[in-house]
Amino acid sequence: MSELWKNGDYVKRYNNVYGISGEQMDRYLAPLNLAPDDRAVEFGCGNGDALARVADIAAAAVGVDISKEQLENARLKLEGRKNILLVESSFLDCRGKLGGHSFTKGLSRKALHHLTDPEKKIFVEKTAQLFKKDSIFVLEDGIFNFDRAELNEKVPEIVAEAKIYYGAAWPQVEKDFMITILEEFVTDYKTWEAAFNHGGFMMTSRKAYSMFYGMMVFKKIG
Ligand SMILES: C[S@@+](CC[C@H](N)C(=O)[O-])C[C@H]1O[C@@H](n2cnc3c(N)ncnc32)[C@H](O)[C@@H]1O
């Protein structure tokens, strides 16, 4: 699925249709409680919209993304911002490229579901070493509020809820939505919690915005 993000037309359409609104941005960034001495990293930074907001407050903001096209959009948007670094990398390979950095805040939105469940665990294990004790990590993504093993039987219920959730935009987003739910690797809260626990993080809160989308906040305890 990461292949899609190398396609300029797909990237342009994503940013047009799914660009983050002001309200969504506030909701995503609020649990981070950003402060001027923070050093933050966003995994799957896309076109850099959230990174720009983070860097308005934090001392440094690093964005990791595999897509040259998205990073080019981010570069144009963030040109001249001295406290922002963009790193072209897959999630699983970024540890080596971030070697000299340490972070107090981590964030990711609509991106880490591209990893399979075993890869999620590997990703957290590798990147956890970059975070200082007491760091906060906010994950907002497709997350199921039921056991992923029940996905097939839940599909009619998910589709009914998604139609309400997306309202008038449903016809435009239906195909992407079904691909994300059925072909990408959206998982459940307990799988994410286990992956973060494995990396030395403890979950401090979680919120389901729907049965298929939600937010989890973790604190590094180790
Ligand atoms: C759905 S977009 C989300 C962008 C942004 N965070 C947002 O909230 O709109 C997913 C992003 O993750 C990136 N991505 C997908 N798979 C990736 C991978 N394996 N490694 C690194 N980045 C990846 C894509 O290039 C894309 O920019």
Residue 68 C-alpha to ligand 1 middle, in angstroms? 11
Residue 166 covered by a domain: no
Pocket test of ligand 1: the residue of 98, 110, 122, 209 to mutate, having most ligand atoms within 8 Å of its CB, is 110
Residue 160 covered by a domain: no
Number of H helices and E strands in the chain, helices first, is: 9, 8
Query: What is the structure's pLDDT at 181?
Result: 97
Residue 161 covered by a domain: no
Residue 153 C-alpha to ligand 1 middle, in angstroms? 28
Name the domain count of the chain. 1
Per-residue pLDDT in tens (0 to 9) along the chain, 222 residues:
467 888 888 888 888 888 899 999 999 999 999 999 999 999 999 999 999 999 999 999 999 999 999 999 999 999 999 999 999 999 999 999 998 899 999 999 999 999 999 999 999 999 999 999 999 999 999 999 999 999 999 999 999 999 999 999 999 999 999 999 999 999 999 999 999 999 999 999 999 999 999 999 999 997
The Cα–Cα gap between 71 and 78 comes to 10
Residue 50 C-alpha to ligand 1 middle, in angstroms? 12
Residue 150 covered by a domain: no
The Cα–Cα gap between 141 and 109 comes to 5
* CA-nearest residue, atom 16 of ligand 1: 2
Q: Is 96 helix (H, G, I), strand (E, B) or coil?
A: helix
Range of the domain at 95: 2-145+185-220
Pocket test of ligand 1: the residue of 12, 17, 49, 66 to mutate, having most ligand atoms within 8 Å of its CB, is 66
Q: What CATH number is attached to the domain comprising 91? A: 3.40.50.150
Residue 162 covered by a domain: no
The token pair at 213 is 């989308």
Predicted TM-score (pTM) of the model is 0.96
Residue 28 covered by a domain: yes
Residue 78 covered by a domain: yes
Q: In terms of Cα–Cα distance, which of 84, 88, 87, 98 is closest to 127?
A: 98
Query: What is the structure's pLDDT at 35?
Result: 98
The Cα–Cα gap between 93 and 96 comes to 6
Residue 9 covered by a domain: yes
Residue 70 C-alpha to ligand 1 middle, in angstroms? 8
